[in-house]
Amino acid sequence: MKKLKVGLVGASGRMGREIAEVINASPACDVFYTLGRDKKVDHKLAEKVDVWIDFSSPEALPEVLKTASRHGTPVVCGTTGFSKKEKSLLEKASKEIPVLWASNMSMGVAVLNEALKVFSSIANFDYQIEEFHHIRKKDKPSGTAITLQENLEKAVSKKCPEPLAIRGGGIFGIHKVHAMSEEEVITFEHSALNRTVFAKGAVRAAEWLAKQKKPGLYQIRDVLFGK
Ligand SMILES: NC(=O)c1ccc[n+]([C@@H]2O[C@H](COP(=O)([O-])OP(=O)(O)OC[C@H]3O[C@@H](n4cnc5c(N)ncnc54)[C@H](OP(=O)(O)O)[C@@H]3O)[C@@H](O)[C@H]2O)c1
């Protein structure tokens, strides 16, 4: 079987190392090319990449998208902390190539985002999102909490208070969505038990995205439920 050639951006980072381990254990793909902060793109190699996986930093995005667009290569991006302008770069590139961005690559969080739709039937409740992450996390609130907030507000058709962000220890990621009335409280909770969950989701997304023929902005939910 021909292995998928993955280009990995941020390969030396916490997520990059985890993703490389998942890829190395897979019979379907290979880490073919890596990019880091101080590495100039070698286009002879970049043109051979079948799919990019980027878990780096917002500053890397323009170069990654430029390289991928130049060679018509799909991009799975898990980087968080993007400004509006950087998000619009993802949208622009998705007119030319398949782009899948997700603030959380776990299938569990994809399901949690879908589950929030049921809150439309109790939109009069009070809502609060809470998230916990390791002390070294750079963005606050997390990208996952921001995505959950967007989906929650869509479901209940109103603004909700900003997510509460708590930083400490080595927590990989806990997200809670509380729905509260005078008589009852419902809490949806997702806990990532390790970093591998995001790496496995990213590799699964890359294998799926590499098969998409049309340019477009894809979401992690599309891997589970279809576009
Ligand atoms: N979507 C998800 O499921 C998910 C899950 C976990 C984390 N994340 C996100 O993934 C990103 C990386 O997280 P992490 O914990 O792995 O961070 P990290 O350990 O700080 O690693 C970041 C990596 O990106 C590289 N990098 C930074 N700036 C770059 C640039 N301008 N060009 C090329 N490479 C650059 C770094 O290289 P140097 O070492 O040379 O600086 C490093 O290898 C963060 O945005 C984080 O929030 C997403």
CA of 15 to the centre of ligand 1 (A): 7
Q: Does residue 208 have its Cβ closer than 6 Å to ligand 1? A: no
- Helical axes 14-24 vs 196-209, angle rounded to 10°: 60
Multiple choice CATH, 4-104+196-225, 3.40.50.850, 3.40.50.720, 1.20.90.10, 2.60.40.1180: 3.40.50.720
SS3 102: coil
The Cα–Cα gap between 225 and 202 comes to 16
- Per-residue pLDDT averaged across 19-32, rounded? 97
Q: What per-residue confidence (pLDDT) applies to 28?
A: 94
Confidence label for 191 from pLDDT (cuts 50, 70 and 90):
very high
Q: What per-residue confidence (pLDDT) applies to 110?
A: 96
- Helical axes 84-93 vs 61-71, angle rounded to 10°: 10
Instruction: Check residue 143 and give left, alpha or beta (phi > 0: left; psi -120 to 50: alpha).
Output: alpha
- What CATH architecture is 107-191? 2-Layer Sandwich (3.30)
Strand 51-54 with 185-191, pairing: unpaired
Domain ranges of the chain: 4-104+196-225, 107-191
CA of 10 to the centre of ligand 1 (A): 5
